[in-house]
Structure 1
Amino acid sequence: MFTIDDIGKMDYNQLIGVVRETNRPPGGVRSIAQIAQNGFLTKDSHVLEIGTSTGITAVELAKLVGCRITAIDINEESLVEARRRAEEAGVSHLITFERKDATDTGYPSGQFDMVFCGNVTSLIPDRDKALTEYTRVLKPGGFIGAIPMYYIDVPSDQLIADVSAAIQVDITPLYRDFWIDFFVGGERHEYWLQDSRFDNIPTDEVDRFVDDILRRPHLAELPADARELLEKRYREYMQLFRVNLSQMGFTTLLLRKEPADVEPELFTATVL
């Protein structure tokens, strides 16, 4: 049972494990389906998911494809909820949830057909080391599925400070070109991508979402003061993210691991 002191010490990433929020990657289930389809996943594939949070991507991949997933996160509270969801969905036999560091997984080299990292790389302090680890554990010919988020509009300094405090990561405003240049290079070749922009969601729609989340029966077991603080902080976080995401977009990106000396494609084409 969480106390008011416990809730007061939690950042957003910990609170979502308490409220059991479905923490989807940018683009939600559509992005998951696109990566599964364009990355040629089958029931024989083995996927490593980085930063599984409450498990929605791992569960969706298991349901859509029937493949094996090893899903890692550093937050044990989120992993508890992820395991519960996998059990509830009837796919726990396909998913292994482990508490591990994305920069040093300990898995053998060339083990996975795909590494799915969503947007979590932006939250890792040593992102270069993380990307090296993704590449190391990936089989030759395998795919990295990334969905980096970035600013389309220039954010205010106050917004950046507020979001940094909420997620406990000192963020620097980054833009699309940064992430493409970051992921593509060496053995990682651009294979497929799609750009999107987040919708500007009305404040009352966010409030309705929060109200629905907070009506979940397990939260009624919290002490009254802890529940009151949880409601206040969770609502503030979600309204903050509404403002932040309205200025952002994301790219659904697949990178294929191939020899570094393969030259890039020259005569590309744009879908009309």
Structure 2
Amino acid sequence: MTVTVDEIVQKPYVQLLAMLGESNLPPGGLATVHDLALHLHLRPGVKALHAGCNAGFLSRELARRTGASLLGIDISPDMAEAANLRAKQEGLDHLVRYEQQDTRELPYADGEFDVVLSGGAMAFVRDHRRAVDEQIRVTKTFGLLGDVQFYYRKQPPQELLDRVSEVIEVPVPQYSREYWLDLYDTPQLQPYWRTDADAAWRTDEEVEAYSRAMVERCAQGWSEAAREALFERFQHIFGSFNENMKYLGYTTYVYRKVDAGSEPALFL
């Protein structure tokens, strides 16, 4: 693959990640993968939908660990294509596949999935109510919905918010922990499991080392100018994200779907 300096500098963030096959881990990283695999009771025979799959790391890792069948969807066709390629490369395409779809308008039948999950992508979806209602609709009765979402524990400087917005090319979503809990407060869902944690952040030296390692992984055979341009862009992207992490917490949660009007429960 021949890449120019201009392409590296000008390519939108999402397209750059798709081109390079760089995976986005969910908030909490591998600990969240473990928690969702455990508390969503994923196992062979379970059919799950991964909404907002990005490059597909979470669904691939869940399929690898549990043997469940997962369908990942993303609004970006580039991400869906990159995710399918990674699934094939990792020998997981018999368990997981990806499509370009809008989580606010799912083309699937009512109750088609045992489990619906996401990994932090909902923050970037417009009209959360519509998206959650669609996810509830395609989950079977007594099935499970799971997600993990960042929230701001304290207010970051505006300069930092502007810098992160410039990286991701949309305004930084600023939601509270209570916002996400209220979003899923509906008669069709019962709280099943939840945990909270502070986001982890790294030193500047660790960010630099990671950026160098990503260049070595992604840019073999590139010109020295292109490699240096990619390093500088990685430094800007991951450095901005890392600084933002100092202000964030995250909540991981699982809900149980019931029929509206079903027997109420007092002590859940």
- The TM-score with structure 1 as length reference comes to 0.90
CA distance in 1, matches of 2:39, 2:72: 20
Q: Deviations over 1:101-134 (max 9, x none)?
A: 1111211121011111111010112222211111
Q: CA deviation at 1:210?
A: 0.9
Change (3 A) 1:156 1:112: same
Residue of structure 2 in register with 1:252 after alignment: 252
- The one-letter code matched in structure 1 to 2:88 is E
Give the stretch that moved more between structures: 218-227 or 193-202.
218-227
CA contact (8 A) 1:12 1:234 kept: no
Please state whether the residue corresponding to 2:141 is helix, strand or coil: strand
Please state whether the residue corresponding to 2:137 is helix, strand or coil: helix
Residue of structure 2 in register with 1:134 after alignment: 135
Root-mean-square deviation (CA, aligned residues, Å) is 2.0
Q: CA deviation at 1:266?
A: 3.8
Please state whether the residue corresponding to 2:110 is helix, strand or coil: coil
Q: CA deviation at 1:265?
A: 4.7
Change (3 A) 1:260 1:17: same
CA contact (8 A) 1:201 1:246 kept: no
Change (3 A) 1:45 1:89: same
CA distance in 1, matches of 2:116, 2:244: 27
Please state whether the residue corresponding to 1:64 is helix, strand or coil: helix
Residue of structure 1 in register with 2:192 after alignment: 191
Is residue 198 of structure 2 the alignment partner of residue 211 of structure 1? Answer: no
CA distance in 2, matches of 1:222, 1:102: 37
- The one-letter code matched in structure 1 to 2:249 is G
Residue of structure 2 in register with 1:176 after alignment: 177
Q: How does 1:1-272 map to 2 (within 5 A)?
A: 1-216=2-217, 218-222=218-222, 224-262=224-262, 265-267=265-267
Please state whether the residue corresponding to 1:159 is helix, strand or coil: helix
CA contact (8 A) 1:189 1:264 kept: no
Q: CA deviation at 1:12?
A: 2.7
Q: % of aligned pairs identical?
A: 30
Please state whether the residue corresponding to 2:118 is helix, strand or coil: strand
CA distance in 2, matches of 1:103, 1:128: 9
Please state whether the residue corresponding to 1:118 is helix, strand or coil: coil
Q: CA deviation at 1:99?
A: 1.2
CA contact (8 A) 2:53 2:119 kept: no
CA distance in 1, matches of 2:222, 2:110: 44
What is the total number of aligned residue pairs between the two structures? 267
Q: CA deviation at 1:46?
A: 0.6
CA distance in 1, matches of 2:78, 2:149: 24
CA contact (8 A) 2:72 2:96 kept: yes
- The one-letter code matched in structure 2 to 1:192 is W
Q: CA deviation at 1:174?
A: 1.6
Give the stretch that moved more between structures: 218-227 or 113-122.
218-227
Please state whether the residue corresponding to 1:171 is helix, strand or coil: coil
Change (3 A) 1:265 1:163: farther
Unaligned 5+ segments in structure 1 are none
CA contact (8 A) 2:123 2:173 kept: no
